Structure 1
Amino acid sequence: MVSGLEEITLATILLVVVAGLAAGWVDAVVGGGGLLQLPALLLVPGITPVEALATNKMGSVFGTTTSAVTYYRRAHPDLKTALPMAGVALAASFGGAVLAASLPASVFKPIIVVALIMVAVFTATKPTVGELTKLRHSGNRHYWTAGAIGAVIGFYDGLIGPGTGSFLIIAMVTLLGYNFLAASAKAKIVNMATNIGALAFFLPHGSLLWGLGLILGLANMTGGYIGARMAVKQGSKFIRIVFLVVVGALIIKLGTDVWMENFSG
């Protein structure tokens, strides 16, 4: 079992740093950085899945916090929607992590793959969706819908995780009516909360690798800062293109997992 950085080679640390930078950038733009970060951590010699999950969440907290602050300073997202949504998502993420300890993620992966395919088809066939903000609800109905999105996707993040930011963005675009830039800015605040919620569970139950987690966190922060600035500068069309690429990668990754778990061997 890995007990500290002394047992990790320089090449492994460099791999984790590069993965953290790339994951931070992807997470800041559309979410889905876990596709890069978690597999890199699992390559660390002797690391356990729980250690990898806990360390991954620690790195992601640094990255999503940095990108959330950057979005707030440059895009000024509506905190009246984002903060209550984040609070609900934090609690739901903790609950999802609790269930993840006793229920295999393989139970849910086929459903997630189907959902991702539907999201990709919808986004690709409706190019004007997410270009402009046209809120679908007003008053309490808007906030209740936002809270429900936070609860469902927060729970998913604690339970499984990959693509949480992407699910948040498409839900806010389609169900609330935000454009991609506004949705991405709010998604970072909510995603930061879901990462904190899951990490709150993993801290006492999993062996967090603090040294590696801090290195990963710094890399994630750098990637998150660059990605958030680029997303704000390039706007909704750029985010939509990256979104489709990341969702496609998620479909391939999770679809492969489902195939290997159910049909191989």
Structure 2
Amino acid sequence: MPDISITMIIVLCVAAAAAGWIDAVVGGGGLLLLPALLLGLPHAHPATVLGTNKAVAIVGTTGAAVTYVRKAPVDVKLAVRIGLAALAGSMGGAALAGGISKDALRPLIMGVLVVVAAVVIFKPGFGAAPSASPVSRQRVLLTIGLAGLGIGFYDGLIGPGTGTFLVLALTALLHLDLVTASATAKIVNVCTNAGALAMFAYQGMVLWQLAALMAVFNLAGGMIGAGMALKKGSGFVRGVLLTVVGALVIKLGFEQWG
């Protein structure tokens, strides 16, 4: 365990719990967890911060995924197929991250987020209920390509809001309600987190003692968040979704022009 004050450990544990809750409901918990770790570990190598973040997040994500699978109508096989594609995409994105200007990509991503927010606001039925018609094989393959490879690539290249993008893509492409989309996204996130964590662990870039402590709180937050989403339904998820999208736009805008 690095030399961290008791006060900072408490702050990190609270942040882990809150991030787990946000991530379970609609994705985007990294918006809170990663900055908290950067604040608590100012002298750590960036890769160590990222590796510790993954070690914490995978526990809460797994707990949320299990909670969802037990109570929501999730197609686990499809979710795993999308997750494996996302894992491959994230590896490709990470490999190219050093050669692409993230400053050039942020305005594009912000524009997409603003359009997404507009759709959710002005189309109240978005994700309110699943489609009654079956999803075609072509649409499933499109989802694996876009939500899997595409968003996985984004995760490796930039990262913030990956879970939120997954929820939106799964809702739009597979015509899922927001609760089922969140459940499916959690399984995909488990796959991508596992791959990233394995790489960071192999490189010795994980603070396991700190991660284990924070993971307990992240797990609790994730399971509570999943339970609330299941209980309160798509309207609740929709409200959290708009809040997280707004936070993403502000964060990216600050990084671009702040």
TM range (shorter): over 0.9
Q: Residue 187 of structure 1 is aligned with which of 185, 188, 193?
A: 185
Asked if residue 85 in structure 1 is aligned to residue 72 in structure 2, the reply is no
The residue aligned with 1:263 is: none
Contact 1:32 1:246 in 2 (8 A): yes
Deviation at 1:108, TM superposition (A): 2.3
TM-score normalised to the size of structure 1?
0.91
Asked if residue 43 in structure 1 is aligned to residue 53 in structure 2, the reply is no
Deviation at 1:104, TM superposition (A): 5.3
Q: Compare 191-200 and 121-130 and name the one that shifted more.
A: 191-200
CA–CA separation in structure 2 for the residues paired with 1:206 and 1:160: 22
Cα-to-partner distance string for 1:32-64 (whole Å, 9 max, x where unaligned): 111110110001241222211111111111111
Asked if residue 34 in structure 1 is aligned to residue 33 in structure 2, the reply is no
CA–CA separation in structure 2 for the residues paired with 1:252 and 1:155: 22
Asked if residue 53 in structure 1 is aligned to residue 29 in structure 2, the reply is no
Cα-to-partner distance string for 1:207-230 (whole Å, 9 max, x where unaligned): 211111112222111100100011
CA–CA separation in structure 1 for the residues paired with 2:196 and 2:214: 17
CA–CA separation in structure 2 for the residues paired with 1:98 and 1:203: 17
The residue aligned with 2:5 is: 9
CA–CA separation in structure 2 for the residues paired with 1:111 and 1:198: 25
Write out the 4+ residue segments of structure 1 that deviate beyond 4 Å after TM superposition. 101-104
Cα-to-partner distance string for 1:1-47 (whole Å, 9 max, x where unaligned): xxx33x11111111110110000000000001111101100012412
Deviation at 1:177, TM superposition (A): 0.9
Contact 1:91 1:197 in 2 (8 A): no
Deviation at 1:141, TM superposition (A): 1.0
CA–CA separation in structure 2 for the residues paired with 1:136 and 1:56: 39
CA–CA separation in structure 1 for the residues paired with 2:211 and 2:182: 25
Q: Compare 22-31 and 141-150 and name the one that shifted more.
A: 141-150
**1:227–1:126 CA distance, 2 compared to 1 (3 A):** same
Structure 2: runs of 5+ lacking an equivalent: none
Q: Compare 193-202 and 51-60 and name the one that shifted more.
A: 193-202
Asked if residue 174 in structure 1 is aligned to residue 185 in structure 2, the reply is no
Deviation at 1:203, TM superposition (A): 2.6
CA–CA separation in structure 2 for the residues paired with 1:210 and 1:163: 24
* CA RMSD, Structure 1 to Structure 2 (Å): 1.7
Asked if residue 23 in structure 1 is aligned to residue 19 in structure 2, the reply is yes
SS of alignment partner, residue 244 of structure 2: helix
Contact 1:97 1:201 in 2 (8 A): no
SS of alignment partner, residue 35 of structure 2: helix
